Amino acid sequence: MSFTEHHKYFDDVEVGQEWESPCRTITETDIINFAGLSGDFNPIHVDHEFAKNTPFRRPIAHGLLGISIGSGLGLWSPPMRTLAFISLKEWHFREPIFVGDTIHARTKVLAKEPRSRGRRGVITWQRQIINQEGEVVQEGISMTLVEGRAASKEGEKDSADG
């Protein structure tokens, strides 16, 4: 997939802006597939009998599955010209995510730092994963490297020269 005219540049977002993603319901297949992909077959995720004896009384989704799905949900909220994921910090797992929960992501721009004469910049985001009850189940801070408008102008100049 290439960037489209809908993908925002670093310059197009401002500190304080917020977005809400579409929703997605977590399935048992999601959890089993993630266990197979990650190798994490901890019984708290995949064993219903074991999970009956935990504080949750049923299997819970992997914490990293929540982060991964949240990342996918946030892909279009907002659609950015992201070049790299730089860091994830201060991530908190507030509540479990269960099979059947419907989650969405809330994203807010906390800070922006231009780099390379406007060809790109670092955006610091607050990310929250929220369930159908309105509870924040996961949240934290992430940073991404995003293409700036100056890079686009350089590309246009190179095309005209070529």
Averaged pLDDT for residues 74-92: 93
Q: Which of 59, 74, 57, 89 is nearest to 130 (CA)?
A: 74
Give the architecture-level CATH label for domain 10-161: Roll (3.10)
- 3 state SS of 51: helix
Model confidence band, residue 2 (pLDDT cutoffs 50, 70, 90): confident
Averaged pLDDT for residues 93-97: 98
Query: Cα 42 from chain centroid?
Result: 24
pLDDT tens per residue across span 102-132: 999 999 999 999 999 889 999 999 999 999 9
pTM: 0.88
CA distance 67 to 115: 27
pLDDT tens per residue across span 70-81: 999 988 899 999
CA distance 26 to 28: 7
CA distance 161 to 150: 17
Tokens of 40: 């994490």
DSSP secondary structure string, 98-159?
Answer: -TT-EEEEEEEEEEEEEEGGGTEEEEEEEEEEE-TTS-EEEEEEEEEEEE-HHHHHHHHHHH
Q: What is the pLDDT of residue 23?
A: 97
Is residue 155 over pLDDT 90?
no
Query: Could you tell me the end-to-end alpha-carbon distance of the chain, in angstroms, rounded to an integer?
Result: 25
Domain limits of the chain?
10-161
pLDDT tens per residue across span 13-55: 999 999 999 999 999 999 999 999 999 999 999 999 999 999 9
Q: What is the pLDDT of residue 151?
A: 75
